Chains A and B, each alone.
Chain A
Amino acid sequence: SQTIHQWPATLVQPVGSPLSLECTVEGTSNPNLYWYRQAAGRGLQLLFYSVGIGQISSEVPQNLSASRPQDRQFILSSKKLLLSDSGFYLCARTLRLAGDNEQFFGPGTRLTVL
């Protein structure tokens, strides 16, 4: 199984509050992991990717951070949420096999910042 779990499924948070979204994956070890954000009715924006434990790369400057404390765990965080952080957050993985580009997505977390 290459299942991807995301928690929570939905979240409503006030402006200025902290955030922690969790992604855990099953199956093949040492996957590449990704965090995307999708604004309402829009495409997918890559936020962070990780090729291993403790290795995080950021694609866009923003109010968020990511961490990978374990091989199959990827966490998205913020110290103080902004209204513009609202959106649908998706975790994805690839298998890190040679030439394997296939990305698989989790079920997503819908975040509403009020």
Chain B
Amino acid sequence: GENVEQHPSTLSVQEGDSAVIKCTYSDSASNYFPWYKQELGKGPQLIIDIRSNVGEKKDQRIAVTLNKTAKHFSLHITETQPEDSAVYFCAASPISGGYNKLIFGAGTRLAVHP
């Protein structure tokens, strides 16, 4: 079955620096790759996603890139701010059963220091 690996598990940056989180997936048929931000004690919030027919997508300070050949996708946050501190999860959606299953990475705890 699909497996998603996420690195690093923790990331510490200074305010204003960039942060990059990387994920790899195993099922080459996966076609949808969302990223979620989870603040302490809350449910994950979808922040950006990308589908397999595009290589890059940007929304203000966040961007996601997808390399289908290498089965990699990455989250890029520029000009980080303290409120970006949270746990970030990547996920991949294999084509399976028609119920939109998501396989999640283990998460990255991002700390942005003022």
**Residues on A close to B: CB < 8 A?**
4, 32, 42-44, 46, 49, 51, 57, 90, 94, 100-108, 110
Contacts and interface: CB of A to CB of B under 8 A. Distances in A.
A105 B45 contact: yes
Interface of B: 31-32, 34, 36, 41-46, 49, 89, 93, 98-102, 104-107
Given A49-B99, A102-B49, A90 B43 contact: yes
A106 to B, nearest CB: 5
Contacts of A107: 42-43
Nearest to A110: B41
A102 B42 contact: no
Contact of B44 (A42, A101, A102, A105): A105
A103 B34 contact: yes
A100 B106 contact: no
A51 B101 CA distance: 11
Given A101-B32, A101-B100, A44 B44 contact: yes
Nearest to B97: A57
Contacts of B102: 46, 101, 103
B34 A101 contact: yes
Nearest to A103: B102
B42 A43 contact: no
B43 A108 contact: yes
A41 B34 CA distance: 20
